[in-house]
Structure 1
Amino acid sequence: MTVPAPVRRLAVADRLLQDPDLVATAVWPRACAWLIRLAVEHAVDGYWSRTRPELTATSRRTQFIVLRHREPDTGPAAEELWSRLSRAAHHHAYELAPTAAELRTWHAEAVRVVRLLA
């Protein structure tokens, strides 16, 4: 049985949260944020592939706008999480990397979003 992409990404992010020494010290928080964000993106892609395949060709922003209306309990949370992860994943010299506590919270939220969109 093949493990879905979102679940694989979350498993690797979880492993990184448990053992940050798997990658360079300065890189692990953003690497973890990228993995969690990818899991959310894969879950959204899977949702649209199953429900409205034509939306897979639209921008991520458009997908989240439509998702908010189609899934009012999950869509806004998924979009907010994706936005936070997008900001955290991009390196800016004037911003601190996300903390382990923030990453754990986002990971738990992503697990919930992935399950709801599956």
Structure 2
Amino acid sequence: MKDDARELVSAAESLLRPAPGAAGQLGPGVRARAAAVLLRLALDQRLDDFWHGIAPAMTRKAKHRMLCLEAYADRGTARRWRLTWSALSGVCHHRVPELPPVPAEIHARLLEVRTLLDALDGAPPAATAVTRVPAPGLLADRTTAPAATPAREPRVGRPAPKPGPPPG
């Protein structure tokens, strides 16, 4: 099986460390931004491959597939995946007043992407990773009725407080 995600990471590394004669063709900021795009694509590709083996419909839902990763991989890997993807996504969007990314920063992200790809390769199979929890209405051992919520008196004369930080 061809590993497209690893090929994208290799292409990103070749952009960050160009051959001696090719360094002058593109500036370091352009190379770093292009490498960031390739690294983000590598994360997307591996996540698509991962979900295709578990639930093929998840490959169509971009945000949900990252949020649901925690149920199939460990919490730290899922969190680092979201953080790395978000950081690379921010670098990929070109904004005129911002400076281009530094190649050393993107190289650090490259190492993180490699670690994440390895971690997702070692994720447990879907059958052992998910614990099914019954819906609240289907609990058979429930013997007491739920406690009633006490009614609150409406406030008269004062406006409702605005949401914000707690006082103090």
AA of the residue aligned to 1:24: L
Q: How many residues align?
A: 116
Give the share of equivalent positions with the same residue, in percent: 26
Larger Rg: 2
**Aligned twin of 1:15:** 14
Cα distance in structure 1, aligned partners of 2:51 and 2:96: 36
Unaligned runs of 5+ in 1: none
**Deviation beyond 3 Å, 4+ runs, structure 1:** none
1:46 to partner: Cα distance: 0.8
1:95 to partner: Cα distance: 1.3
Greater helix fraction, Structure 1 or Structure 2 = 1
Within-5 A mapping of 1:67-78: 67-71=69-73, 72-78=75-81
AA of the residue aligned to 2:63: R
Alignment of 1:83 with 2:102, yes or no, is no
Which TM-score applies when normalising by structure 2? 0.64
AA of the residue aligned to 1:105: A
Which TM-score applies when normalising by structure 1? 0.89
1:39 to partner: Cα distance: 0.6
Q: SS at the partner of 1:55? A: helix
Q: SS at the partner of 1:73? A: helix
Contact 1:16 1:22 (C-alpha < 8 Å) held by counterparts: no
Unaligned runs of 5+ in 2: 122-168
Q: Deviations over 1:1-60 (max 9, x none)?
A: x530100000011111111728521521110100111111111111101122221121x2
Match of 2:59 among 31, 49, 56: 56
Cα distance in structure 2, aligned partners of 1:109 and 1:102: 11
Q: Deviations over 1:52-96 (max 9, x none)?
A: 2221121x2111111133321311111110000000011101211
AA of the residue aligned to 1:3: K
Cα distance in structure 1, aligned partners of 2:42 and 2:91: 15
Alignment of 1:96 with 2:99, yes or no, is yes
